[in-house]
């Protein structure tokens, strides 16, 4: 039986993870998983339930009891809460400000790890986030780390109509004790400041194909 492959794409905010992960997933026919959306969903749910996102115990308790379900729709994994998929709601400035607080809670990260690993039941994955190569699927041989200059990333966010303090969010994500953002060992690092998403995704796909050929070449002949 073939074990599903996981392509891990980590990196800073607005480094092009989502755009490129989607292109790579579509090109290879793999399932796309946006783990940031899962953290955003919890942050949004806390705000909705009036749970203080700085109250670690209350957030952990909510995370233990919320009613969620993983489904795969159009090649993308969705986390449903009470049967609902909150898509637009999780992208507001209020949720963006709350999410790094929720993401710093160790019990939340343990819950996310369990759920994110379950995604392989849907097949081969392209999973993007901050700790996929270091913590969620450290065993995968396909690790990528995307970055771009702060000015370029801020420009991209502004072009999307979103105004936020990226430097502060990156700092929170990198300095938290639980599974901080860092470059996974053995990852291919791509600084895409001067690159288009076509160029970035082409680099990622070429590297995956090169490695897959290598795996096939070094494997036992059948």
- Least distance to ligand DC from the beta carbon of 209, Å? 25
- Least distance to ligand DC from the beta carbon of 129, Å? 3
- Least distance to ligand DC from the beta carbon of 215, Å? 26
- Least distance to ligand DC from the beta carbon of 180, Å? 9
Alpha-helical (H) ranges within the chain are 17-28, 35-48, 56-65, 93-103, 106-118, 150-159, 166-175, 197-218
Nearest CB to ligand DC, comparing residues 36 and 184: 36
Q: Contact residues for ligand DC (CB under 6 A)?
A: 13, 35-36, 39-40, 99-100, 103, 129-131, 169, 173
Burial environment of residue 55 by CB neighbours within 10 A (0 to 12, 13 to 18, 19 or more): middle
Distance (Å, rounded) from C-alpha 173 to C-alpha 181?
6
Nearest CB to ligand DC, comparing residues 99 and 195: 99
Strand partners, 34: 128
Nearest CB to ligand DC, comparing residues 18 and 27: 18
Q: State both tokens at 191.
A: 């600084």
Closest alpha carbon to 204 in 146, 160, 137: 146
Nearest CB to ligand DC, comparing residues 26 and 91: 91
């Amino acid at each position: 039986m073939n074990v599903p492959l996981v392509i891990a794409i980590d990196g800073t905010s607005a480094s092009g993870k989502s755009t490129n992960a989607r292109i790579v997933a579509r090109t290879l026919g793999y399932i796309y998983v946006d783990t940031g959306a899962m953290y955003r969903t919890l942050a949004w749910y806390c705000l909705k339930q009036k749970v203080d996102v700085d109250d670690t115990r209350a957030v952990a308790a909510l995370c233990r009891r919320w009613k969620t379900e993983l489904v795969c729709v159009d090649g993308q994994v969705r986390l449903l809460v009470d049967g609902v998929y909150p898509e637009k709601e999780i992208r507001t400035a209020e949720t963006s400000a709350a999410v790094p607080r929720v993401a710093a809670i160790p019990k939340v990260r343990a819950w996310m790890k369990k759920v994110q690993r379950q995604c392989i039941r849907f097949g081969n994955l392209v999973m993007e986030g901050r700790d996929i190569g270091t913590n969620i699927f450290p065993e995968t041989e396909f690790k990528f780390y995307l970055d771009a200059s702060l000015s370029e990333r801020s420009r991209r966010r502004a072009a999307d109509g979103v105004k936020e303090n990226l430097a502060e969010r990156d700092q929170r994500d990198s300095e938290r004790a639980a599974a901080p953002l860092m470059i996974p060992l053995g990852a291919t690092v791509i600084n895409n400041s001067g690159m288009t998403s076509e160029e970035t995704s082409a680099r990622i796909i070429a590297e995956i194909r090169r490695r897959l050929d290598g795996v096939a070449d070094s494997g036992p002949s059948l």
